[in-house]
Structure 1
Amino acid sequence: MADPPRADTLHPAPDAAPAPAAPVPVTPAPKLRRRPTLVAASVALVCLGALLAAWAWTATSSTTTVLAARVSVERGALITAGDLMTVQVSADPALHPVPAAEMPAVVGRRAAADITAGTLLSRDQVTDTLLPGAGESLVGIGLPAAGMPGEPLAAGDAVRVVSTPGAQGELGDAPPVEVAATVVAVAVDDITGLRIVTVAVPEADAAALAARAATGNVALVLDSRQR
């Protein structure tokens, strides 16, 4: 009788376990180098942006209460409380309106120029002096460029209106007539091109000066502005 088969032939022994794979080397992450200069610059930019945003918000949201004309006021008219109103405007250093708190000081004074309804009130639009004053008259004189000084005239300048030769150029034996005056305003006639100088003179001289100015035989002399 044949011997039974051996167990190792029926169930062969399993192959030996494979050797474990060698570990893959891991490259360490590169170390980041901190640059203090860049960090400081970034912080400065962030702070600057915050400051600019705060300034822009303040500039657009900051307002102040000022005076404006509720109705039109003619030059020389007394200003009443009913002529004025208060408005809110953005604070702008280029504007110089009268603060609303100064309304009591404005009421009762006169308009130095025509004030249009809805416009902001400025200090140079208000005056205590009404022109012409007591004992004075205003005379308008039309002058060519040759009859005026080369220096631009301004309100308040002390001038003399002097008679000039007639059509034939004769002066005669009489000395030139001159009248002391104060410049009130200067304008240009768009049609004739003449400079229209409005001057304040004593009432006693107004009629003679107006008659002489109508002939065109006058010139204007600017006296010293030093006071």
Structure 2
Amino acid sequence: MELTPRQMKMIEIVKEHQPISGEAIAKQFGLSRATLRNDLSILTMTGLLDARPKVGYFYTGQPVEPLLFDKLYHINVSEIMIPPLMILQTISVYEAVTTLFMYDVGSLYVKNEADELIGVLSRKDLLRFSISATAPEKTPVAMIMTRMPNIITITPKETILTAGTLLSRHEIDTLPVIDPEQPKKVIGKVTKTRIMDFFIQAGHDSEHPSF
């Protein structure tokens, strides 16, 4: 898989105008920011562009060879997924916050007594709760989590490209990796950060191979 003409043009725009916002890039094409979301996600996940909140996009100068690019995007999710961090639906919001910061993760997966995935609790969920409610030590996470079927999942045999597209399209930070035979059983997770780290490391390794 090679970069598309539009993606190549986006890189040139960023080189010339960096730092530049996503909205400003979209304006150059006469398109909406949402239309370019997948392209921007691909370019940042491969390390070609860097995005900084409230600043914009920068060109990193990182080259990606077409063959390497193709190889990386066809790697299965199973090869980069990491262990999920799961909590019971009965624990309190206070306990969930403690767990989230103790393990330095962006989201927690919520399970029932049968170890089935029933929800996802993100930092955004916790922030919304903290603004509008009190007594976190008495409120179970089941009251504020995002519930099934509103959770986007992926299977281990799907590609990293599919994972990145889902994360970008749905504007989420994490995807539970589920057992294809047991859709409620979580066997791993993949995040935006995990995918980006993988591509950056792969790019670094291609430039500085170890013998």
State TM-score, norm by structure 1: 0.22
Q: Which has the higher strand share?
A: 1
Q: Which has the higher helix share?
A: 2
Which protein has greater RCO, CA pairs closer than 8 Å, 6+ apart?
2
State TM-score, norm by structure 2: 0.24
